[in-house]
Amino acid sequence: MTSQCCAALLHLAEERTNTQENSW
């Protein structure tokens, strides 16, 4: 994956963690 892709995934992961508290 590209660095942009990884950064996007990390950003989404942070948002999900903040809003849903690790409910992947």
High-pLDDT (> 70) share of the chain, %: 71
Average pLDDT over residues 1-24: 78
Q: In which region does residue 2 sit, left (phi positive, over 0), alpha (psi from -120 to 50) or beta (all else)?
A: beta
Average pLDDT over residues 5-13: 88
DSSP secondary-structure letter at 4?
H
Question: If pLDDT is split at 50, 70 and 90, which confidence band does 1 have?
Answer: low
What pTM did the predictor assign?
0.44
Residue that wins the pLDDT comparison between 16 and 14 = 14
Question: If pLDDT is split at 50, 70 and 90, which confidence band does 20 have?
Answer: low
